[in-house]
């Protein structure tokens, strides 16, 4: 029976009832909540979030990078061809800060490194001919040989010899790289609004532009349109120690953020920059940045190479863009949303009134009414009622003395 009543009550219609409550405390709470809600929407929705604007968050972007600088390394002078990879590129560029070099490698046979699994041996039967260990350096020949100038033995392999771990020469870090500069040119296009912007200051002619780019250094306040960044400045802003970066290498993200309010002149749309280390420093296996490359040549008619393991800084340029401009449709939607949200004031005050103030249920009796439409009275029943009332009336009249 109770379930049936719930089902029937589901189809009841509810309509708000206007009731004026003469309570000063409740009135103060109601107007205060109204003021807070309206203030929040005006500040957050319209001023902070600019909800009255049509926005675009997926602009078209182009990035060009170029490393600049020279350094003295021993008796050699290094330029961008030596330490930059690539010397000019797109949104990724790296510079070598330290090298580990293995000279005069050639194809042949030599002893495997002793840290490789199952590489240590005492006799030939300990080494399986043709076996390749993917953590090692080559294919085993099946012989157990002396490990270079040491007394112990390891399995012989066919590879580029001598192996890197034995013959590597660790060069000092390129400390002068702290003054290298990276040129970052970024163009961004918002096709919805047909606005194209760049991060380089406009100049009257090409000569003035080149002169400006040759001498300027980026500064947040003094030179916000200069695209030249010192590596030392980038490391500092990323809260990294440059000496430590020279030792282990690292990946740093250069974030270019465009926040453009197109209700004002587009010339005020300029980028902001942020720098952050991207590789995991706490995870030793995944931290740092290095890569290997080789320089090939022929020596005494034999193909040889110099293997270089390079540690350095890799810069990943990441561009974000957001542009907004006034549009009536989002303005109407945001305004209606704000006006609708004011209704929460009534809900809060009703809860306070019925929970804390209405101790004698005076307000609840007035607020909630149940209206039931009574069925009409049949005509026959109404006539019989009138006749019975008339006969009773005549009887009473006859019993009254005149």
Binding-site residue numbers for ATP are 181, 309
Are the beta carbons of 156 and 140 closer than 8 angstroms? yes
| Beta pairing, strands 169-170 & 271-277 | unpaired
Are the beta carbons of 169 and 105 closer than 8 angstroms? no
The per-residue DSSP string of 54-98 comes to EEE---EEEEEEEEE--EEETTEEE-HHHHEESSEESSEEEEEEE
Q: In whole angstroms, give the CA distance from residue 111 to residue 95.
A: 33
Residue ranges of the binding site: 181, 309
> What does the longest C-alpha to C-alpha distance in the chain come to?
158
Are the beta carbons of 311 and 249 closer than 8 angstroms? yes
Are the beta carbons of 168 and 188 closer than 8 angstroms? no
Length of the chain: 402
């Amino acid at each position: 029976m109770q379930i049936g009543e719930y089902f029937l009550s589901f189809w009841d219609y509810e309509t708000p009832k206007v009731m004026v409550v003469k309570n000063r405390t409740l009135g103060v709470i109601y107007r205060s909540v109204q003021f807070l809600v309206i203030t929040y929407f005006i500040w957050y929705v319209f001023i902070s979030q600019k909800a009255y604007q049509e926005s675009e968050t997926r602009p078209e972007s182009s990035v060009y990078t170029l490393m600049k600088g020279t350094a003295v390394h021993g008796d050699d002078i290094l330029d961008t061809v030596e330490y930059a990879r690539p010397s000019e590129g797109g949104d990724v560029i790296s510079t070598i800060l330290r090298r580990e070099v293995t000279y005069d490698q050639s194809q042949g046979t030599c002893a495997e490194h002793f840290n490789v699994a199952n590489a240590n041996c005492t006799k030939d039967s300990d080494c399986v001919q043709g076996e390749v260990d993917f953590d090692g350096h080559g294919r085993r020949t099946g012989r157990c040989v002396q490990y270079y100038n040491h007394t112990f033995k390891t399995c012989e392999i066919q590879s580029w010899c001598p192996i890197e771990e034995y013959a590597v020469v660790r060069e000092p870090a390129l400390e002068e790289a702290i003054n290298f500069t990276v040129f970052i040119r970024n163009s961004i296009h918002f096709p919805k609004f047909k606005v194209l912007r760049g991060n380089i200051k406009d100049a009257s002619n090409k000569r003035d532009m080149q002169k400006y780019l040759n001498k300027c250094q980026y500064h947040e306040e003094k030179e916000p349109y200069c695209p030249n960044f010192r590596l030392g400045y980038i490391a500092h802003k990323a809260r990294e120690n440059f000496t430590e970066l020279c030792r282990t290498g690292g990946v740093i993200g250069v974030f270019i953020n465009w926040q453009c309010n197109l209700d004002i002149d587009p010339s005020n749309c300029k980028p902001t920059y942020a720098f952050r280390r991207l590789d995991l420093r706490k995870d030793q296996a995944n931290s740092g940045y290095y890569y290997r490359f080789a320089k090939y040549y022929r020596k005494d008619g034999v193909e040889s190479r110099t293997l270089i393991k390079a540690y350095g800084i890799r810069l990943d340029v990441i561009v974000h863009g957001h542009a907004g401009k006034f549009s009536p449709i989002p303005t109407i939607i945001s305004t209606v949303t704000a006006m609708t949200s004011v209704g929460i004031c009534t809900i809060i005050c009703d809860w306070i009134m019925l929970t804390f103030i209405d101790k004698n249920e005076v307000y609840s009796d007035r607020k909630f009414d149940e209206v039931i439409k009574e069925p009409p009275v049949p005509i026959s029943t109404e006539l019989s009622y009138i006749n019975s009332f008339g006969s009773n009336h005549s009887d009473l009249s006859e019993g009254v003395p005149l």
